A = this chain, B = another copy of it.
Amino acid sequence: MARRSSADMEKTRQILLEQGILLLQESGYNATGIQEIATSAQIPKGSFYNYFSSKEDFAAAVIRYYASKSLAEWLGFLKEAAANDDPRQVLYSSFLAATEKYRCVTLKKGCLLGTLAAEISEVSEVCRFALQESISEFKTVLSEQLLLGQQTGAVRKDIEAQRLADFIWDSWQGSLLRMKVIKSVDPVQENLEIVFNNLLKP
């Protein structure tokens, strides 16, 4: 059989990662097997190991892939909202835009980073580090925006931007959890309203 081109390899790797997002969101890490991952990408089980050395290695790659896609999407929302002069409103709008994608879907999957944080942190150190790094990337952007808000007077200054970023990330993730439980985006919107219209106000 002819050796597969690197473009073909890259395409299959991409399909595996995309299918990985769906499988990990649907069944979680423990209940997803390599056979199932391979089947979903229409490759033989043995070929899986041409791409990833183990399920753990695969899951860590899915985490990083999902995080970089989501971060790019959120940076897009931030850019769109930047016409507004108030950095607090810019951030608020970007979070509301990120919430919109959950509104019209029946299955409210929430954020894969939060879903896996609940399950994977005790099972795999490799995945835990991938989660930790991915979450840090989001919080770096969040913290920069908050600092900008503090400099322009739009955001309270008595709590450091980094601590506010931690708090906002956590409460956002918590509200996404409750969104899944009650099958409604209301918890997320109410959370954002309290954060941006009350907590962050100077």
Q: What residues make up the interface of A, taking CB atoms closer than 8 Å to B?
A: 26-28, 30-31, 107-110, 114-115, 117-119, 121-122, 128, 131-132, 135, 158-159, 163-164, 166-167, 169-175, 177-178, 180-183, 187, 190-191, 194, 198-199
> Complex: how many Å from CA A175 to CA B117?
11
Query: A163 vs B187: C-alpha distance in the bound complex, in angstroms?
Result: 9
The reply to whether B163 and A194 form a contact with Cβ atoms under 8 Å apart is: yes
- Minimum Cβ distance to chain B for residue A182 (Å): 6
Hey, which chain B residues are within 8 Å of A190, CB to CB?
163, 166-167
Question: What's the minimum C-beta distance from A173 to chain B, rounded to whole angstroms?
Answer: 4
Chain B contacts for A199, CB-based, 8 A: 194, 198-199
A142 to chain B minimum Cβ distance, whole angstroms, is: 13
A sample of 11 inter-chain contacts (CB < 8 A) reads A28-B30, A110-B118, A114-B177, A117-B178, A118-B180, A131-B181, A158-B198, A159-B198, A166-B190, A170-B174, A171-B175
A119: chain B residues at CB < 8 Å are: 28, 115, 118-119
Q: Which of B117, B178, B183 contacts A180 (CB 8 A)?
A: B117
Bound-state Cα–Cα, A187 to B159, Å: 15
- Taking CB atoms, residues of chain B closer than 8 Å to A115 are 118-119
- Taking a contact as CB atoms under 8 Å apart, the answer to whether B170 and A191 are in contact is yes
Q: Other than the known A117-B177, A128-B183, A169-B178, what 9 A-B pairs have Cβ atoms closer than 8 Å?
A: A28-B31, A114-B118, A118-B177, A118-B180, A164-B194, A166-B178, A170-B171, A198-B199, A199-B199
Q: Which residues of B contact A164 (CB under 8 A)?
A: 194
Among B107, B114, B118, B171, point to the contact of A167 (Cβ < 8 A).
B171
A27: chain B residues at CB < 8 Å are: 30
Alpha-carbon distance A107/B173, docked complex (angstroms): 21
Contact B135 A194 (CB under 8 A): no
Q: Establish whether residues B173 and A177, one from each chain, have CB atoms under 8 Å apart when the complex forms.
A: yes
